[in-house]
Chain A
């Protein structure tokens, strides 16, 4: 299968600071990446769809000025949580869309646990 990495795996920050999370597709090019948020014992909530070279499309209720997404290359998308607050503490997961061999599949990263103090 395709491999997607995320960095960092865990981050603890003070309230008011910004945090950047990287998502990389290691062995394939991804024109589309997705960012999700997951609270304990809940399903994945799509935050935004990130397309290489263009602005991200945010889901309703997600503040685009707070969650900055950049998809600068076919293998890298970043999510920056600006002015983080305790309510932003969550598990953030990215996925990358792989189009190869006739299949069209999303592969997920291992997730980033963000804790805002």
Chain B
């Protein structure tokens, strides 16, 4: 029930293309869904987050799409750049757990120049 399943494990995209990473969850108590970006040897950095009362949130080139009925959410990176090459983690939390994050397994994104 606590799992968050993330796919694909790795993704290669051409510069300027769209990168799409998907996550699915089981626990309906989750009410906060952040995405983190991690570069090698660094800690994760919050990229964008969404709550289930909206179906989409956009910040710059990054968009989260949320489907509450399907219990799925995805990250779209528009106009992908080589500098976006990193590992991306989706996560989920709920208020009753001190906001502990349950992480997906991660997606290694490579954007080719």
Chain A residues at the B interface, C-beta cutoff of 8 Å:
1, 4, 6, 32, 34, 41-44, 46, 49, 51, 91, 93, 95, 97, 104-111, 113
Flag if B44 contacts A104 (CB, 8 Å): no
Which residues does chain B contribute within 8 Å of A91, judged by CB atoms?
A: 41
Which 6 A/B pairs are nearest by Cβ-Cβ distance?
Answer: A108-B43, A111-B43, A110-B43, A108-B44, A43-B103, A93-B43
Flag if B43 contacts A97 (CB, 8 Å): no
Which residues does chain A contribute within 8 Å of B89, judged by CB atoms?
A: 43-44
Flag if A1 contacts B106 (CB, 8 Å): no
Chain B residues at the A interface, C-beta cutoff of 8 Å:
32, 34, 36, 41-46, 49, 89, 95, 98-101, 103-106, 108
Which residues does chain B contribute within 8 Å of A32, judged by CB atoms?
A: 98-99
Q: With A and B bound together, what is the CA distance between A101 and B104 in angstroms?
A: 27
Select B43's contact among A41, A51, A109, beta carbons within 8 Å.
A109
Q: What 9 additional pairs, Cβ within 8 angstroms, besides A1-B46, A43-B89, A104-B95?
A: A6-B43, A34-B100, A41-B108, A49-B98, A97-B98, A105-B46, A108-B43, A108-B44, A109-B43
CB distance from B34 to the nearest CB of A (A): 7
